[in-house]
Structure 1
Amino acid sequence: MIPISDELTLLEQVLESYDLKYIAEHLNQVSPGRWTRELLKRWVGAKEELRLSEAEFNHLQTLIPEAPHRKNHDFDFIDLFAGIGGIRKGFEEAGGRCVFTSEWNPYAVRTYKANHYSDPLNHKFNSDIREVTLSAKPDVTEAEAYRFIEANVPDHDVLLAGFPCQPFSIAGVSKKNSLGRKHGFECDTQGTLFFDVARIIAAKRPVAFVLENVKNLKSHDKGNTFRVIMKALDELGYWVADADSSSNEDYKIIDGRHFVPQHRERIVLVGFRKDLNVHEGFSLKDVANLYPKVKPTLGDILEKEVQPNYILTPKLWQYLFNYSIKHKAKGNGFGYGLVKAHEVTRTLSARYYKDGSEILIDRGFDPKLDLEHKKNLENRPRRLTPRECARLMGYDAPGEYGFRIPVSDTQAYKQFGNSVVVPVFAAVAKLMKDRIISAKILAAQQPRDRNRFVA
């Protein structure tokens, strides 16, 4: 007989990602008709003692991510602003081990925990990164903040962060000068979430980092945001790959279309500690050598049949169609993105749940016929399903269903729209791996100055 404590522990773990209705449906696959949401609710509230059969217990365990089959790992990393773990997935494929995760969105956390193993001995989970960096507490000194980070963030070799893009302000510099405080990155980036990333880099001194953001980071706030970030990283003692790439050919900007059938440009900042001198010759230009020889087509990732609710209603289709015509007449580029099975889609966005307009799957629309024609009404386009979004982002291969989606369609669309193309970061990790390992060995040979940035 399985101990009741083990059953309750398992249920608590499962509830971190799945609701009671889903769990009941899952258990009923083993014991049809036995389980209901209300029954599980009474169990969770300790109002009724229930016991799982061995088959039910084992079936429930399948909802928990398995530990990696690989016994050894080559390097440790932390995953900040983790979303649903796309960058983590790429670095795990290269032999990395995640030791710390930070993500504040509760729905993203559910999906993350449903798919990524959290070693109870070697992994910490954090919600608000500011609770670790103490950046929300203005009276905390820099020395106190660094000591707190040192105690609460595990040592790691690589820092990963898909931080939000925010403008910087120089307000307050003169006041801090008068107080005799630093006005480098601690001042220039304060009030933004990049500041929290910089504080952790300063305190923990990883051998490398990968920062991801939208392509427009370079032009955000008339270029000031990017200039401040690059200045801060240099001040922290890091070399950034392809820092001087021209605007016409910037290797830091990688398009996901080289790996999946989606046009998705993102800026990737790869940095190595200057003092370790492992960066010479590294360039993201070489990611091109890792493009797949055969990449999946849109047709490869599509389901053969979908539920009717993914097909646009006649009213919505007519609205999008007329909206596009109106803006084309004004010379604007706004409109829906109708794609066929052999084409590349536009960028999937977090707003996809609203109407799906940027990526609509063509089901036989005939532009030669009137929109009201019976054929065009019957063959109205459809949205991608969340499962197809998982494949379009590289979480699943064509035809696979391995990535768990424990949230509503609305939340799933937001999560995939905010995420990264996984194979892009698998390629970046593969490109970095040998240098990370070399840098890790070199760093271990020298004591880390834990007070380097503490006044």
Structure 2
Amino acid sequence: MTLAAPLALLKQARARFTQREIAAHVGKDIKTVRRWEKGETPCPAMLEPALRDLLQNRAQAGGGAGGGAQFRFIDLFAGIGGIRMGFEAHGGDCVFTSEWNDFSTKTYRENYPGDGEHALIGDIVSFPAEEVPGHDVLLGGFPCQPFSIAGVSKKNALGRPHGFECTTQGTLFFDVARIIAAKRPAAFLLENVKNLLSHDKGRTFDVILQTLRDELGYEVHYRVVDGQHFTPQHRERIIIVGFRGETSFSWDDLHLPENGPRLGSILHRTDGSEPVLPWDHDRFFDHTSRRVQPKYTLTPNLWTYLQNYAEKHRAAGNGFGFGMAYPDSVTRTLSARYHKDGSEILVYQGEALRPRRLTPRECARLMGFPDTFRIPVSDTQAYRQFGNSVVMPVMREVARIMLPHVQTLLAKETRRGSKQTLSLHA
């Protein structure tokens, strides 16, 4: 019985820590911890206090959100780190990142230079789930690849299993599911386009919920949130959160300002108050002339084309066309194709001038990124990255209401582990 207690504690620790971290805490090497975990050698009873201390200190470090809270998370389909930034604002520690796009990885590394201590891998599809480090929260803005539930009825008739490995295999959601299954984080946050709800007449979303709730056993909540509460952009995205246990989580706890900011708040300022950013210099804005660089103004040919295109569709009774934006506007949704013609958000420059695109710095602001965020890639790549990103303040607000429940779950499990240890010695 004495050997069972430290082994149980070791299993709890491995749900939150890497073998390297456990080895460092108990003063052993990684190979030894690995042998304990595989059952090749017994985990010594003398390590029980050290393992319990590791788990207890971890729970106590949770604290309160916004007050130096410490929790570990992983960042899947990371893009340029918008979801990550929202959770770091509440004291989170990113321990693993996955992003396959080289240009996005370049921007990510530029803005998170301290990540040399943890893995930043490319494609998650081929990465073994067991090698993902332990974490408390899984974050993922997974791309919605269409997948079919065709064949489930046939498997039922044949008496064959059809868990998430069958219903979502071949999609990127499967990789989220297999990591949750293997690592069992206390919570997760997944983000996607609003249309995920209606894709394939709702069947796609039903499979996702079935996987998270029934197959993986998580308490799941979802809501569509519009970014315009925080930035001057109409951008609706579905956010799915889940917890490994019962909670009192409620979307009603979100603080969503009724009157959000307007476009003028994120545009380059021509009154001399535009900050001089050493990482931008005059790339987007000429501080000497106090003007946005001329290259962002549409060419005569492009402006004529967009006007003719809009008129053509108006005549046909369609709503297609460019979106003119003014300082008091809330813009359309910024898309990854913005680099092509900028048509969804054209900034009005008066009757005497043709409209212009937003600059990449203004796009960063439109997505809620601070001016400290660096843009090391070309304008084309920057437009794609911000168009594919999240409204960061939305993520920060969702993190705020999630984390107290995460900390409560972790504290309960730590107390439960201590009680189990005591009962083993009774």
SS of 2:241's equivalent in the other structure is strand
Amino acid at match of 1:402: T
Is the 2:229–2:259 contact (alpha carbons within 8 Å) kept by the matching residues of 1?
no
- The counterpart of 2:357, out of the listed 380, 383, 395, is 383
Match of 1:240 in 2: 220
Match of 2:241 in 1: 270
SS of 1:130's equivalent in the other structure is coil
Work out the CA distance in 2 between the residues paired with 1:170 and 1:361: 44
Q: How does 1:391-410 map to 2 (within 5 A)?
A: 391-396=365-370, 401-410=371-380
Is the 2:228–2:260 contact (alpha carbons within 8 Å) kept by the matching residues of 1?
no
Provide closer, same or farther for how the CA distance between residues 393 and 202 of structure 1 changes in structure 2, counting only shifts above 3 A: same
Deviation of 1:259 (Å): 0.2
SS of 1:317's equivalent in the other structure is helix
- The counterpart of 1:88, out of the listed 81, 84, 90, is 84
Amino acid at match of 1:343: S
Deviation of 1:234 (Å): 0.7
Deviation of 1:221 (Å): 1.5
Is the 2:72–2:94 contact (alpha carbons within 8 Å) kept by the matching residues of 1?
yes
Work out the CA distance in 1 between the residues paired with 2:318 and 2:154: 46
- The counterpart of 1:198, out of the listed 172, 177, 181, is 177
Q: Runs of 5+ in structure 2 lacking a partner? A: 1-65, 271-290, 418-426
Matched, 1:79 2:75: yes
Match of 1:257 in 2: 228
Matched, 1:444 2:423: no
Provide closer, same or farther for how the CA distance between residues 181 and 440 of structure 1 changes in structure 2, counting only shifts above 3 A: farther
Q: How does 1:352-431 map to 2 (within 5 A)?
A: 352-365=338-351, 375=352, 379-396=353-370, 401-431=371-401
Work out the CA distance in 2 between the residues paired with 1:293 and 1:224: 33
Q: Deviations over 1:56-115 (max 9, x none)?
A: xxxxxxxxxxxxxx9965211100000000000000001111000000000000000111
SS of 2:343's equivalent in the other structure is coil
Is the 1:168–1:224 contact (alpha carbons within 8 Å) kept by the matching residues of 2?
no
- The counterpart of 2:125, out of the listed 119, 127, 130, is 130
Q: How does 1:138-287 map to 2 (within 5 A)?
A: 148-150=128-130, 152-170=131-149, 182-235=161-214, 236-242=216-222, 252-274=223-245, 277=246, 279-280=247-248, 282-287=249-254
Q: How does 1:54-133 map to 2 (within 5 A)?
A: 73-121=69-117, 123-132=118-127
Amino acid at match of 2:292: V
Match of 2:293 in 1: 307
Amino acid at match of 1:262: Q
Work out the CA distance in 1 between the residues paired with 2:67 and 2:398: 23
Match of 2:263 in 1: 298
Deviation of 1:273 (Å): 1.3
TM-score normalized with structure 2 length: 0.73
Deviation of 1:330 (Å): 1.2
Match of 2:328 in 1: 342
Work out the CA distance in 2 between the residues paired with 1:107 and 1:119: 17
Is the 1:394–1:422 contact (alpha carbons within 8 Å) kept by the matching residues of 2?
yes
SS of 1:271's equivalent in the other structure is strand
Q: Deviations over 1:231-266 (max 9, x none)?
A: 100121111125xxxxxxxxx000000000000000
Q: Deviations over 1:103-130 (max 9, x none)?
A: 0000000000111244444x21110101
SS of 2:97's equivalent in the other structure is strand
Provide closer, same or farther for how the CA distance between residues 119 and 106 of structure 1 changes in structure 2, counting only shifts above 3 A: closer
Amino acid at match of 2:253: D
Amino acid at match of 2:112: H
Work out the CA distance in 1 between the residues paired with 2:261 and 2:196: 29
Q: Runs of 5+ in structure 1 lacking a partner? A: 1-69, 133-147, 243-251, 366-374, 448-455
Amino acid at match of 2:221: A
SS of 2:126's equivalent in the other structure is helix
Match of 1:31 in 2: none
Amino acid at match of 2:167: D
Work out the CA distance in 1 between the residues paired with 2:174 and 2:323: 37
Is the 1:253–1:265 contact (alpha carbons within 8 Å) kept by the matching residues of 2?
yes
Deviation of 1:176 (Å): 7.2
Runs of 4+ aligned structure 1 residues displaced above 4 Å come to 70-73, 171-181, 292-295
Work out the CA distance in 2 between the residues paired with 1:324 and 1:120: 49
Work out the CA distance in 1 between the residues paired with 2:143 and 2:306: 30
Q: Deviations over 1:301-356 (max 9, x none)?
A: 11132111100011110110111111111111100000110110000000000000
Matched, 1:435 2:396: no
Provide closer, same or farther for how the CA distance between residues 117 and 324 of structure 1 changes in structure 2, counting only shifts above 3 A: same
Work out the CA distance in 1 between the residues paired with 2:158 and 2:376: 50
Work out the CA distance in 2 between the residues paired with 1:231 and 1:387: 40
| CA-atom RMSD in angstroms | 2.2
- The counterpart of 1:327, out of the listed 287, 310, 313, is 313
Amino acid at match of 2:321: G
Amino acid at match of 1:261: P
Match of 1:368 in 2: none
Work out the CA distance in 1 between the residues paired with 2:165 and 2:124: 16
Is the 1:87–1:425 contact (alpha carbons within 8 Å) kept by the matching residues of 2?
yes
Count of residue pairs the alignment pairs up: 330
Is the 1:73–1:97 contact (alpha carbons within 8 Å) kept by the matching residues of 2?
no
Amino acid at match of 1:187: C
Work out the CA distance in 1 between the residues paired with 2:415 and 2:125: 32
